[in-house]
Amino acid sequence: MTHRPPHRPPHRLDTEADIARGLAGLLAADPRLAPVVAVAGEPPLRRRPAGFAGLVATVLGQQLSIASAAAIGARLFAAYDPFEPAVVAQAEPATLARIGLSAAKIKSVKAIAAAIAEGALDLDGLADLAADEAHQKLVAVHGIGPWTADSYLLFCLGHADAWPAGDLALQEAARLAFGLDARPTAKAMAEMAEAWRPWRGVAAFLLWGYYRVVKQRDPVLPAPVTAVSRT
């Protein structure tokens, strides 16, 4: 039997040079992005630690301010050190509530911890998958929605083709950049970005930068992670 190396994403965003290479690829594929680059400039590399802590921090950032999510995350990581799935899966809901997690987030965090601890979710293996397949693996776990899945792939794994199509700031940036009559839906955003494969993640960074310049405020992006999972 011929041994085949595992499939890996064709591109990863690990350095500023990766961003520059992706931007060049985007401009070659879609000249409409040139005016966007002229306004926003080259987007910076944005990365967060991966693993269990990175995924949980992304979940905590849903529907919370960056400051609130970071504060709750800091308390959570301090309470369970080392921050490991098997431990968090057995954590008392009352303890997690005192830390500041809502009932919905307690259910989500414990479900994610259990999925990893039981082997149903292989976080390390996600880096070997195409963006769409990795997305499906993540959203199959309770508490991981599309925004969380794509944000984890982009910010924590540096997956160059991750595309958070449901992000409202991204949708608004696309409306402004391309002169659309209305903010595009997630489905329309997915269709729009087909031409940008395999650099959709760089396109997301670019459009967020455009949003920041034009709207004069920062888009809501995942909060920093203050602990790194050993899983």
> End of a domain among 108, 134, 156?
156
Provide the pLDDT for residue 86: 96
Residue 229: the pLDDT is: 38
pLDDT value, residue 37: 97
Whether the bond between 82 and the residue before it is cis, its omega within 30 degrees of 0, is: yes
Could you tell me where the DSSP H helices lie in 30-122?
34-40, 51-60, 66-79, 85-89, 93-99, 103-117
- Determine the structural domain holding residue 150 and report its residue range: 51-156
CATH of the domain at 172: 1.10.1670.40
Residues of the chain with pLDDT under 50: 1-9, 225-231
pLDDT of residue 2: 44
pTM, rounded to two decimals: 0.88
Q: pLDDT value at position 182?
A: 96
Q: Domains in the chain: how many in total?
A: 2
* Other C-beta atoms lying within 10 Å of the C-beta of residue 91: 18
Q: Please check whether residue 91 is in contact with residue 80, taking contact to mean a CB–CB distance below 8 angstroms.
A: yes
Q: pLDDT by residue (tens digit) across 99-113?
A: 999 999 999 999 999
What is the per-residue pLDDT for 1?
45
Q: Is residue 194, in this structure, part of any structural domain at all?
A: yes
Same domain for 152 and 165: no
Contact between residue 206 and residue 53 where contact means Cβ atoms under 8 Å apart: no
